[in-house]
Structure 1
Amino acid sequence: MNIAFELDLDNINLTDEQFFQLCENNSDVRFERTASGELIIMPPTGSITGNRNSDLNYQLTAWNRKNKLGKTFDSSSGFKLPNGAERSPDASWVKIERWDALTEEEQERFAPLCPDFVVELMSSNHSLEKTTAKMKEYMENGASLGWLINRKLLQIEIYRLNKKVEILESPQTVSGEDVLPGFVLDLAEIW
């Protein structure tokens, strides 16, 4: 028997605990929640995008292991932003001082902070408009550096705190600047 139903994701009012339990009880599904409480079900990426994201996280983690300046996170990690949204960037990094200032319980759940560095890797099912809005939200909530990688257009939009977005066309590498000193992402495997 097939049961069909319509779920109005705009009108679900979940407490933080209920949202966390929803995510925990459905670990095979990625959820996000906007600052206004809209529940977003994130579809899985295609295999190519997943492979590219894996390489991106590998490079960031390798740099961090060498430098030990913070903690790295993949797309399954949720953060509770200061505006109340719960987001899961494709890759992110938090300075060690900020991470260590959290309690163990805060570290176990959706860390109540915005990462210092965030990356969104566009896949075919992502909307550029929504992803750009998400990047702006990260910056408004305290991120210092963000990259929106658009493989289809071979572009990287670089978001910096209180600065205009810079767009790079077909770069081979991109620098972590002073936020991630010495980190240079090799885009050969990403494109």
Structure 2
Amino acid sequence: MSTITLNLSPTILLTDNQFYEICQNNRDLRFERTASGALIIMSPTGGESGLKEANIITDLNNWNRQKKLGVVFSSSTGFKLPKGGDRSPDAAWISRERWQSLSLTERKKFPPICPDFVIELRSQTDDLEELQEKMQEYIDNGLRLGWLIDPQNRTVEIYRLGQAAELLYSPFTVSGEDVLPDFVLDLTSIFLEE
């Protein structure tokens, strides 16, 4: 199944609680919501993409356990972005200070915060243009650094707050720069044939 977008607005305007309940009552699907209220329905990822995603999250989490600078989230986590969208990146990181500024209630549902760092890993069924728009939405909501990793084209688009996206062709690694000091992701296994 590919991604399906339902434009509910203006007929149906889901409250934050209604959107959260739809997600909880349909755990076999992944849902996102755009700032304009469109509901995005995604099926679970395939095995190869899931393996690559797990490896990326493992590397990010291992770095974070050593540095103790923040918290790491998987693709199961939805974030209520400041400008209205509800998004679930494949991997996300938030500085400890920003995470701790949220109340316990805010942390339990979809945290009302844009991550400092996200990774989107393009699967075979993902539309590249839609992922690029999603990355721009993160930037518009305050994301400091983001990577759009595209194994099919062997590229990485790097998104930085206040800058144009940078496109890298077949890089061996990408760096977390000043957002994730000393974090380097090895892309060798990500770019292997699926």
| TM > 0.5 fold call | yes
The TM-score range, normalised by the shorter chain, is over 0.9
- C-alpha distance in 1, partners of 2:93/2:111? 12
SS of the equivalent of 1:41 reads: strand
User: 1:159 aligns to what SS in structure 2?
Assistant: strand
What is the identity, as a one-letter code, of the residue corresponding to 1:181?
P
Any stretches of 5+ residues in structure 1 without a counterpart? Answer: 1-6
CA RMSD in angstroms, aligned pairs only: 1.2
| SS in structure 2 of the partner of residue 28 of structure 1 | coil
State how 1:161-180 maps to structure 2 within 5 Å: 161-180=161-180
Deviation at 1:46, TM superposition (A): 1.6
* Native 8 Å contact 2:157 2:165 kept in 1: yes
Q: Alpha-carbon deviation of 1:8?
A: 8.5
Correspondence for 1:142: 142
State yes or no: 1:127 paired with 2:127: yes
Q: Structure 1 residue 186 and structure 2 residue 186: aligned? A: yes
Determine the C-alpha separation between the residues in 1 that align with 2:5 and 2:89: 24
Letter in 2 for 1:166: E
Alignment map for 1:10-49 (pairs within 5 Å): 10-11=7-8, 12-49=12-49
Q: Tell me how far 1:155 sits from its aligned partner.
A: 0.3
Alignment match of 2:6 (pick from 1, 5, 9): 9
Q: Answer yes or no: is 1:58 the counterpart of 2:55.
A: no
Cα deviation digits, residues 47-104 of structure 1 (max 9, x gap): 1111000000000000001101000001000000011100000001001000000000
Q: Distance in 2 between matches of 1:54 and 1:19?
A: 26
Report % sequence identity. 55
Runs of 4+ off more than 3 Å: none
Which deviates more, 87-96 or 163-172?
Answer: 163-172
d(CA) in 1 for partners of 2:137, 2:150: 18
Q: Which amino acid aligns with 1:126?
A: D
- Distance across 2 between alignment mates of 1:174 and 1:127: 22
Residue identity opposite 2:159 in structure 1: Y
Instruction: State the TM-score, normalizing by the size of structure 1.
Output: 0.94
Partner of 1:3: none
Q: Distance in 1 between matches of 2:51 and 2:5?
A: 32
1:143-166 Cα deviation digits (max 9, x unpaired): 000000010010000001111111
What residue identity is the alignment partner of 2:142? G
TM-score (structure 2 length as normaliser): 0.93
Quote how far apart the aligned CAs of 1:10 are: 1.1
What is aligned with 2:78? 78
Of 33-42 and 19-28, more deviation after overlay is shown by: 19-28
- 1:103: which partner in 2? 103
